[in-house]
Amino acid sequence: MSLRIHHEFVIPKDYALQRLDQAVATLLPQYSRARLQQWIKDGALTLDGNSVKPRDKVFGGEVVVVSVEQASETDAAEDIPLDVVFEDDNILVINKPPGLVVHPGAGNPSGTLLNALLAHSPEVAHIPRGGIVHRLDKDTSGLMVVAKTLEAQNGLVRDLQARAVSRIYEAIVYGLVSPAEGVIEGAIGRHPVHRKKMALRPEGKEARTHYRVLESFDEHTLVECRLNTGRTHQIRVHMQSLGYPLVGDPTYGGHYRRPRSGDAWLEQTLKAFNRQALHAKKLALTHPVTGKKMSWQAEPPEDFLELLDFLFGG
């Protein structure tokens, strides 16, 4: 199944001497400039019937024709339950459970969030990446926003790049975090040896995490982390860099540690916690279509709450 995209319009005179890609990005705001540039390069966007380059100037009065056959992914739809926190015609906010992979890939060809989205909202089949504009690791739970239209996707991506979307996480880490509040800055890139891991790398991408202690226990700390950037495994790498790896995250130093208290129930719970103790609890953004400021909050899943209960002495 495919979607036919077709637009035909005249460049207004007051756009004279602008670059073609700049002009059409303003006239077709529902598409990203990068996508329009690619259509121009592919010959799917023509000017007066001619193939052109993104940097070519326009003078006003030219006829732009966009003709694209866009494949969809509807065959990949799977009826997987979703915890929908909010939904309208443009965006969808979900509370992702731990264990759910976001995108199909090697070892996970199906049973992913994308497969579930294609069944829940078939219209996302015609949006790149099924409308997914940011992701959570497989074993991280919590809030994610998904675009249901191209206009919404373009707006959300723009706001994410401008760091105008607030994402706040809760994590349970080994050790007593000190100081109680701070900012972790350290560029993150691919690990030089273990290619599935990330690491602090001087040549990596800028990364900044704000953290503050919510509760201190005998040997563990509940911390709140606010992302200023959104790099792969950012919180996991940054907290490890301070010497406070996430519980249940052996990839980044969070191997099981027997509690000194000898509490058998806590020991059993820590042993059974087989994912990083990380939950995306709060999400706030400006709606990409209505301009309304919106926010949501989702409590951590049962395993996270059970661990907290035992840390509190329950």
pLDDT score recorded for residue 75: 53
pLDDT score recorded for residue 106: 64
Question: 13-16: long-range contacts (C-beta < 8 A, 24 or more apart)?
Answer: 13/60, 13/61, 14/60, 15/58, 15/60, 16/58, 16/59, 16/60
Top-level class of domain 74-161: alpha beta
pLDDT score recorded for residue 314: 57
The domain spans of the chain are 2-71, 74-161, 166-311
| Sheet strands (E) in 136-252 | 141-147, 166-174, 181-185, 188-190, 198-200, 208-216, 220-227
pLDDT score recorded for residue 44: 94
Whole-number CA gyration radius for the chain: 23
pLDDT score recorded for residue 82: 96
- Classify each residue of 248-283 as buried b or exposed e, where b means 16 or more C-beta atoms within 10 Å of its C-beta: bbebbbbeeeebeeeeeebbebbeebebbbbbbbbb
Top-level class of domain 2-71: alpha beta
pLDDT score recorded for residue 3: 62
pLDDT score recorded for residue 116: 94
Which tokens go with 8? 């035909």
- Classify each residue of 150-175 as buried b or exposed e, where b means 16 or more C-beta atoms within 10 Å of its C-beta: bbbbbbbbebbeeeebebbbbbbbbe
Which residues of the chain fall below pLDDT 50?
A: 1, 74
CATH of domain 166-311: 3.30.2350.10
Report how far apart, in Å, the C-alpha atoms of 88 and of each of 84, 147, 148 are.
11, 10, 9
Q: Judge whether 74-161 and 166-311 match in fold.
A: yes
Rounded to whole angstroms, the Cα distance separating 102 from 113 reads: 5
pLDDT score recorded for residue 28: 86
- Hey, which residues are catalytic here? 137
pLDDT score recorded for residue 110: 85
Helix-helix angle 264-272:302-311, to 10 degrees: 150
